[in-house]
Structure formats: structure tokens, C-alpha cells
A and B are shown apart, each in its own frame.
Chain A
Amino acid sequence: MHDLIALTPLGAHKPRSDHHGGVSLIEITDVALASVAARLGREADAAALVAKITGIEAPAAARASDCAFWMGPDQWMIEASFETQEDLAQQLAAQVNGAASVTEQTDAWCRFDLKGDRLADVFERLCNADLKRFTGGEAVRTAIEHLGCFLICRSPGHVSVIGPRSSAGSLHHALLTAMKSAL
């Protein structure tokens, strides 16, 4: 077991949380991510693999399940507990049997979860995703303050923003500014 101490994307030892106007903004660092992209001609096998891993059908375009979301044609991101599956990519790679390419993505991203009742009011100041129509299970790629982000609607009162890790500070600033502006 190695003894290197991890830093959060915001550069601290503990994830940050902020609260404003009934909405919580919480930095999430305990999720491992791995992308699964189908090999040419093995699209069905790759989808089946995602279904097998996650225990639920591979998400359709612009959709998310409990532990996977759609990233592009025949491409998904798998989410798992970092604590128990830090080596998620290796685990998946061992199961793909040539049906997909797996890439570790855990630390490519930072993630901020927003929880509260008026999330649509916040996100309309941030991106062109129409959150008012979201009921849960949506996954869209959108730009927030010039940053390409995934927006995963877990439920109408819970949205994850997954953005580029190196810009975590700027993304967090944008989210908190929008919360204070809109709420």
C-alpha cells in the first residue's frame, strides 16, 4: 500500500462544500471513473459489457444510469466507489475481451454536485442545458464558462457537474457565483 497523500482537484486534503440559498455545492472526490468505448463492430458486445458491469442496461444517448453515463456514440463512462475500486479501469479492462477500449479517467475530471430545489435557476445562468425539463437520468455535454463539462441529472434536486480537473478552481468559482447570483 503506497503512502502518497491525495489532493482534491481544488488543491486541498478535504473536499469542499458550500451552501447558498438552499442549494449545496459539494466537491466529490470518492468516485473512480473509467471510459468504455466500443471496438469497431463490437458495439453490441460493449453495451452488453456495460450492462453486465453496472447491472442495468447501458445508457442510451444523453442518458445516465446509476453508475454509468453516455459520453458519445458507443462510449460510456463508468462510475464506481474510489475507495473500493480505485483500479476500476484495470478491473474493466480485464473483462472486455476485445469488445471495448477502457481508459482510466478518474483524475481527468473534477466533480461538483449541486443539491437543492432551484437548480434550474442556477443552471440557466451557466449553460444551455434545459434543466427545467430534466426529471433525472439525463446526461449532457455542455460548456460552462468555456469549460466542456458533463451534466448528470441524478434527480431533479441533484445534478453532478463533471468538468476538467485542472480548472476545478475556475469551475467551482463559476458555480458558486451563479448560485449567489440566481438564488
Chain B
Amino acid sequence: MTQKNRLQGGLIDRGQSYTFRFDGKKMTGHAGDTLASALLANGVRLMGRSFKYHRPRGPLTAGSEEPNAIVELREGARQEPNTRATTAELFDGLVAKSQNRWPSLAFDALSVNDRLSSFFAAGFYYKTFMWPAAFWEKLYEPMIRRAAGLGSLSLQNDPDSYDKGFLHCDLLITGAGPSGLAAALTAGESGLQVILADEDFVIGGRLNAETFSLGDSLGSDWAAQTVARLRSMPNVRVMPRTTVLGAFDHGIYGAVERVSDHLAVPEADKPRQILWRIYSKRSLLTAGALERPIAFENNDRPGIMLASAMRAYANRWAATPAQRVAIFTNNDDGHRTAADLHAKGVKIAAVIDTRPGQPISIDYEILHGEIIDTAGRLGLRRITVRLASGETREIECGALGVSGGWNPNVSLTCHQRSRPAWDENIAAFIPGGDLPSGMTVAGAARGVFSTHGALTDGAEAAARIAADLGQTATKPELPKAEDAPIQITPFWHVKDAKRAWVDQQNDVTAKDVKLAHQENFVSVEHLKRYTTLGMATDQGKTSNMAGLAIMAEIAGKSIPEVGTTMYRPPYTPAAMGVLAGRSRGKDFRPVRKTPSHVWAEEQGAVFVEVGNWLRAQWFPRKGETTWRESVDREVLQTRKSVGICDVTTLGKIDVQGTDAAAFLNRIYCNGFAKLAVGRTRYGLMLREDGIAMDDGTAARLADDHFVVTTTTANAVSVYRHMEFVRQCLFPDMDVQLISTTEAWAQFSVAGPNARKLLQKVVDAEFDISNEGFPFMACGEITVCGGLRARLFRISFSGELAYEIAVPTRYGDALIRRLMREGQEFDVVAYGTEALGVMRIEKGHAAGNELNGTTTALNLGMGRMVSQAKDSIGTVLSRREGLNDADALKLVGFKPVDPSKKVPAGAHLMTIGDPVNAAHDQGYVTSACYSPNLGHHIAIGYLKSGDQRLGEVVRLISPLTGFDHEVEVVSAHFVDPEGERLRA
């Protein structure tokens, strides 16, 4: 295909030609083209099918507000749906496909929808597909989803990476048109740290799309020179391809920088896009204005576009949608397009102005009237004009530029719920009074439309901001520029049209707006939701205004009375990947590794994620074919001789200060004030509401020094809770907290031979005999010839057990030493599964039992809650509802038929009672196979469980069809007297 609609001039680089494909057709364009401009240059006007009616559509705009020219860009895993051809930069080898059509763009089977349009009016799916009800999910919804649609996903993983980043500045300038550039110059020269962000890949905004001059230069040249000047300033960061998506609290803005979207594939290790969080002291919105269309009959044919877009294609991209074009306008700006295209050699068929008395042109015809229809199935061929005289005329043209006036781009001003204000002079909304904190608006974004006005306004705003921030700013030398007044007579739609498109992306017509009014969806928010006006990916940038103007007209209200819907971030659609950044796949969250991780890997350990930690779950040995074999072996060998488990993950909190004991007395519900130095005590923490929060031990290393341990899961939350208590509840206590979880590698050494094994590594001067270091003792010792260590005689397994801690860097060496020295005892390493089995066998509560709904009473520790002192949660633990006579109690369960499992999560029912929630007796929290007992066991909560030992109850899991009898037993299956741990 040749570039038959390529004009002379423009800002494209004709020295660099790119080949690209659209719907399989090979074409060429140039560096500096967008996909849309290259397609237009190649004579392609038809670029997509509409959402609902599958109407043929071409580009309406030349920017990010585009509703129609939406394509699937790239192929394979990089295929991205719903990409605006108007902003997609052309690169060599680009591949794009049109969307929402089958089998082809030119012949689309579902364009039959267009013929059936009377069935698909606004709200059709609320009315049409109601019967039979069962058909909705199975038939109607899938059918509608298939028919209505945007692009398709590749269903492959995104191969690109995305960064998140943080920027800081005194002043963020959003939009680099004339006012943004003038502002950046002023602020930059005053010494402020400035970020100038613009969504376009060429800085300059409309200066690149117009032909008028700034001083002695072309607008585009002045923009290029100014950017070069700004780039030379170390305090100014110019960020093209960067869309500011949202205005958030405290001067923070979100922006997406498209780093690599103009390349076929990002460079190695470089991100495709970056999501920036910009911290600004002040911000200046110079986002310009967006032209708005006029609604008239069949105003959506390919070739009909905004007049400003037509001008931009011609001036910047040297492309025209056709060689013979017409203009339809209600303001002076439309005439500029006619003049510019005429100058480029494009034939102007006519300019139709809705206003009377327009000056006559010698170059082309200027008519007073309105367009009442258009023709051309896949592209505009002809327009029908009703002249003011009443006469109608048909005019042949391949494209039509439409100008209904300009809307200041106020979106970002409204992200903090500000509402824009109506300005009668320009018939448009301008920023309201209550802007996001620190924000100023300048230039066309606040309705100052002339180039001279924009330059001056931007410079003055920046100077005020600089002064406000304590800098002196001098207004830079600004070039002389056009300063045309705004001449507009509001004209929103041609009356009596059958199908005049208001929202082209969501296929909403002027008639749909009328229907909404007729059905009493009058509020602008209801109008939006009923008709879907403005709800497409373009967020109604070209349609909302016309929609509410038509509503105002029908409702007999003024436009400001109707008001606007809420503007929300993101300003333009953002890829999901950029919101995720690097947090995806295996990098979703950081991994925490235990000190014995390297060693455990060597042993072939199977790891389990516990929060972010990777813990060894079991250590399979040769010949073991199931996990149960490994776990059973680890349990049996530990109970028989000795086993070692890495318990570093348990939280460790260093508590010091003269009030450390008094502080813990408040934190724990049981007493700690009198705990002797060198002793450890089990402690239970309650939440303020009396529910159990966490349990663990506190070891008193000195009068003013404790080490508190927490469960792995609650390490952070308990530390946070304790800091809250320290800082906010008891600021007068002398207590200091710091986490030492990661500072110490801690191993449980459990089993009848635990002491013998430890005696081989603990230095001889420390007596760890039962007398010298009894159950619940603790102390600072040395191991392996002088390494500082801590020893705690505590037991989770119920065996004679210790926990030994050394500085983390030596953890790997210590477990290797223990395993080596333990060979004579056939020592085993055990993982979290065996740990779990042994604690269930012993009846020790863990996370499953401390589940946020249970109290000390439920746990069988009601008497631990000291009534002799005040501690957090004590008072509310006395609440009546928490102390019912038939309260849940922690008990054990064993299956009546020993071959049956006892699944955790199953519920308990009294035999003979109906099975329903009203008769629920409790539930099983933890279950396992006990290799010591030879059958499954469980612990859980049963109403009055402590008084029902020996009773047989039903254990039911309706979800899995489980229904068997279990006997209620003591939760302590192994060594109920606790003789082993004291041995």
C-alpha cells in the first residue's frame, strides 16, 4: 500500500521508514508517526468496530481521549487489547489487529446488531433478557459478552517487567504545551526542583499541531528549543511519555512512564513501564483542553473526526484522512482546520458553521447550516447539509472535521472530589474552587485558550508558586503569539436525529439520553449508569459534555444545574502489570529463609511457606515414598531419642528496662512480676476485648531484661501491639523493646537424649543437668568453645527439650555440629509437620486454636487469667457471653473406628440431635495421624467439653461427606502428667 494520503511537511522523520501490519496488511510509515497517523496516511480510515452495534469506526481524535480507533497491539504474549491507535507510537515491525469484529473489519457478521438497534437501546439488558431467569447466566450473559466487547487477552504471562518508583519535586507540571513549557522555564530558572510530565512522546502539546508562529519561530520549533533549554537545567526533569494518572492526598501524584512502548521489545533488564509516585510541594496543571464533537445523524462514520485532530494529523503527521474534506463547526477554531488543510493542498469541500454571518472565504465555500445526515458504509462519502435557508445540500467528501468547542481538561482537578464550575464565556466547565492541596491550574486547562494567554498564564502561575516557596522568579522572555478571542455559540446536537452518537465508544446516542430522562434516570450519575455514557475506557472524555448538555436541554435545566459525574483516577487506562510492579510470581513478596536453610536444602527438605518464611516441612529419606513415612519417622525418633528443629521463625522480642517485669505483667494475663531471673514462663496475651491474642514464653535473663517469644504468625503483630502499649498506654513505664527474631538462630533439641546431645556442645562450665538447669530454666551460656549462646529449657513437643540460640551467622554451623554429634543417638532433623504432630499429641494450642474467636476459658486456661492484677483483656474477658456455662472447651478426639481420619474443620454434633447450625456442638481445630498411638487424633472445641470426656459424638463435614463417631478424650494424648519434660 502506498501512503496516498501523506502530505508535505510535518514533524515525522521521512528518513526513517517503518514497515508495519494492520489486520495482516503490510504498510509503511515513518518515525514520529502514531499507528493512527500512519494508517490515515496509507488511506485507511476504518480502524475498528463499535462496542455494541459493531458500527464501522475510524479515529475521532489524535490523542489519548480516543474512543474509536482501539486495537490489539503486538502479538503473542505481548498482545495488548484496547490500545489507542492514536497514541501508539509506530515502530518497525509493529503488528496491530482490529477488535470486536468477525470475520473481518470490513465484513463483520455482528454488524447485524446495528439493524436490530431498536432492541439494544439503553438499559436493554435490564428489560430484554429477563425470562426465563435460568437463561441469564448460561445463555444470555455469555452471548452478550461475546457480542459486545473490546479486545482479547493473550492468556499468556506478560513477558515484560515493570518498575515502581518515587520522585520528589518542588513543582510538578502536568502537561507540556505552551503554558506548561512557559511555567517550567520560569520555575526552572527560579531554582525550583521541577518535574515536567507529558503523555505525548514529543513535548509541546498543541504547538506541534498548529502552524502559527511564536515570535520568529514555528510553534513546534519553539517547543523543541525550550525543551532543550529545560533539559540543560539540572533542577528540571522533563518526562515525555509520562501520563499523570491521578491526584492523591498531600500533593502526591501517580504517573505512568511508558519507557519501552515505542520499541518492539524492551531492552534487556529494562522495564516496559514505570509507575511513579511523585511527591510534590506544589503542582501546576497545564493539561490543555480537549475538543468536543457535535452529535448529528450518522456522525460516527470513519473519516468523521474532530477538527483539531484533522489539523493535528495534517500539520504534525503530514497525513489527511481524505483528499476532499468538509468542516462542521460552531466556533472560530473549526475555520483554522479548513485554512491549514487548504494550505496543505487538501480540497475543502465546504465549511458548515452553525452560526450566521461568517466571513466568506475565497478558497472554499462557507455555509450557514447544520449536517443532518452522512453516507458511506465503511467510510464517509457524503454529507447532507440543511442550510439556514431550509434548503438541503449533499456534499461529497471523504472526511469531516467537527468542532463543538473546547473543554478545559479538568480531570485531575476533580480527583479529590472538587466539582468544576461552568464558564458561560467559553461554554465549558473550568476548574472549581476546591482543588487538590497545592494545585494551581493554568492555560487552556482553566479556559485561557489563546497561545499568548497560555504562555503568560503558565509563566505567571509558576512565578507565584516560586515566590510561595521562597524563590524569586523572573518572568522569562516569552515569544509573541496569537491571541485570538474565543468566539463560540454553544451547539451540542442536531435536533430530530434518529441516531446521533454521543458516546462513540459505548454506542450511546442522543436518543438514549432522552430515553434515560423519560424513564426518570435524570440525575447525571443515573444517566451515566443507565446509558453507560462515559463508562468506556475513554471515560467519556469526548462525550460526557454533550450527554449532560442534552440532558439539561430535555430537563429544562442549565448545564451547571445538571452537573458532571465524578472524575476518578486513572486519567487513562493503565496496564495491570504496572500496578503490580516487581511484585509478581516468585517475587510477589520477599522470602524469609531460616539460618539452617542451606543445610536443609542439602538434606532435600521439602519446604512450606509460613507467612514469608520458608520452613522445612519434613526431611524425606531414601526409600520413603510418602510424606507420612518421613513425618512418622521424625516423630517416633524424636520421642525415642532426639530430634532437632529450626525454630528461629518464632518471634523474639527483647524487653528491657526497670519496668520490664511490670510491663509484661500488663501484657500477659498471667503473672510475671515474680518470675525469678534464670526462669522462663508460659504466657498468654489477650486482646483488649478479652479474646486470646497469642501465646509464648518469656525468659528472664536479668532483673531488667526479658526475652519474649511469640508464635511465628504473630511475631509482627505482637511486637506492634507491645509498642502500642508501651508508647500509648504506659508511656510512663521505663521499658524498651526491640525485635531480635532474626539476630538469633534458634533450634529445638527434643527427646530423651536431648540433654546428652547438648552436653556435647555446651561448654563444660555450664551445668545443664536436671538439677542445675531444670524445666523452664534459661540462661546465657557459651557453646563449642566460647561462642555466646542462649539456652531455654522449654518444650513444645512434650519431651525433655531445650531451645538453643546462637548468633544467626553460626546457625548453619551449629545444626551441622548437632547433627554430627548426635549421630551416636541417631538424631533426626524434624520439620514443621512433625512439630505439629507432637504438639497435637501433647495437646498444645497453636494458631488453629488461637484463631481470634477463642478465650483463655475456651483454651482451658481460664484460671490463668489473673484476677489479682490488671492486664490487657482481663476486664472484658469477664463478659457474660464469654463465660457461658456451656462454653467451648479444648479437648481431644479419637475416632471410634481407629481406621478413620478425624478431619480438622469438621463440626461436632450430639448423637441423636438434628444436624444443623442450631445444634452445633463445636469443631475440630487440629488433626493428625499419631504414629505413637497408631491412629488419627485431633483437638478442638466442644461445648462443655471438659465435662464430656468419654462421650461419643458425631463429627460431620457436609462439604466432604464425612460423618463418623469420635470419642471425647483429654487433649493430652502423650505423657499427660508431663513427666518427660521434667526428666
Contacts and interface: CB of A to CB of B under 8 A. Distances in A.
A165 B744 CA distance: 11
A11 B598 contact: yes
B554 interface: no
A167 B784 contact: no
Nearest to A74: B736
Interface stretch (B17-25, B266-274, B456-464): B266-274
B593 A125 contact: no
Contacts of B734: 39-41
Contacts of B740: 103-105, 108
Give the size range of B's interface with the partner.
35 or more
Contacts of A181: 161, 163, 269-271
A25 interface: no
A111 to B, nearest CB: 12
B788 A170 contact: no
Contacts of B733: 40
B329 to A, nearest CB: 46
Interface in A105-131: 105-109, 124-125, 127-130
B786 interface: yes
A65 interface: no
B33 to A, nearest CB: 28
B269 A180 contact: yes
B72 to A, nearest CB: 27
B590 interface: yes
Given A5-B813, A108-B741, A101 B656 contact: yes
Nearest to B788: A87
Interface residue range, chain A: 35 or more
Interface centre among A169, A170, A171 (most CB of B within 10 A): A170
A40 B654 CA distance: 16
A91 interface: no
Given A4-B817, A7-B598, A171-B590, A39 B808 contact: no
B477 interface: no
A6 interface: yes
B738 A167 contact: no
Contacts of A173: 587
A106 B592 contact: no
Interface stretch (B103-111, B165-173, B925-933): B165-173
Given A40-B732, A181-B163, A2 B592 contact: no
Given A1-B785, A6-B810, A125-B164, A164 B269 contact: no
Given A40-B732, A104-B740, A166 B784 contact: no
B807 A104 contact: yes
B274 A146 contact: no
B817 A101 contact: no
Contact of A128 (B166, B274, B654): B166
B739 interface: yes
A108 B742 contact: yes
Contact of A166 (B161, B167, B742, B786): B742
Interface string B603-640: 00000000011000000000000000000000000000
Contact of A104 (B582, B658, B743): B743
B784 A2 contact: yes
- Interface-centre pick from A38, A166, A167 (highest chain B CB count, 10 A): A166
B582 A167 contact: no
A9 to B, nearest CB: 8
A103 to B, nearest CB: 5
A57 interface: no
Contact of A167 (B167, B592, B807): B592
A93 B800 CA distance: 33
A3 B785 contact: yes
A130 B166 CA distance: 8
Contact of B783 (A2, A41, A87, A103): A2
A146 B589 contact: yes
Nearest to B597: A11
Contact of A37 (B597, B613, B738): B738
Contacts of A7: 595, 598, 809, 811-813
Nearest to B591: A170
B809 to A, nearest CB: 4
Interface in A138-183: 145-147, 164-171, 173-174, 177-178, 180-182
A127 B164 CA distance: 9
Interface string A11-46: 100000000000000000100000101111100000
A131 to B, nearest CB: 9
Contacts of A109: 742
B657 interface: yes
B742 A165 contact: yes
A41 B591 CA distance: 40
A85 interface: no
Interface string B652-680: 00101111000000000000000000000
B594 interface: yes
B743 A174 contact: no
A165 to B, nearest CB: 5
Contacts of A178: 163
A166 B592 contact: yes
B469 interface: no
A4 B167 contact: no
Contacts of A174: 582, 590
Of the listed residues B593, B648, B740, the one surrounded by the most CB atoms of chain A closer than 10 A to its CB is: B593
Nearest to A36: B736
B277 interface: yes
A163 B884 CA distance: 48
Nearest to A164: B742
Contact of B593 (A8, A104, A169): A169
B814 interface: yes
A37 B817 CA distance: 35
A106 B808 CA distance: 9
A28 to B, nearest CB: 13
A4 B787 contact: yes
Given A167-B592, A181-B163, A1 B274 contact: no
B759 interface: no
A147 B743 contact: no
Contacts of A167: 590-593, 612
Contacts of B743: 104-108, 165
B583 interface: yes
B813 A6 contact: yes
A97 to B, nearest CB: 13
A52 interface: no
B448 interface: no
A7 B815 CA distance: 12
A166 B593 CA distance: 5
Interface string A46-89: 00000000000000000000000000000100000000000100
Contact of B786 (A1, A9, A128): A1
B279 interface: yes
Contacts of B41: none
30 contacts: A2-B785, A2-B810, A4-B787, A4-B814, A4-B817, A5-B810, A5-B812, A5-B813, A9-B809, A40-B657, A40-B732, A40-B733, A101-B657, A103-B654, A103-B740, A107-B745, A108-B739, A108-B740, A108-B743, A108-B808, A109-B742, A124-B165, A124-B167, A128-B166, A165-B742, A167-B591, A170-B590, A173-B587, A177-B582, A181-B270
The 7 closest A-B pairs by CB, nearest first: A101-B656, A170-B590, A107-B808, A40-B734, A4-B813, A108-B743, A6-B809
Interface of B: 161, 163-168, 193, 269-271, 274, 277, 279, 582-583, 587, 589-595, 597-598, 612-613, 648, 654, 656-659, 704-705, 732-736, 738-745, 782-788, 806-814, 817
Given A6-B810, A101-B705, 19 more contacts: A7-B598, A39-B734, A40-B657, A40-B658, A40-B732, A40-B735, A101-B736, A103-B738, A125-B163, A125-B164, A128-B277, A130-B168, A164-B592, A165-B742, A165-B808, A167-B591, A168-B593, A170-B587, A171-B590
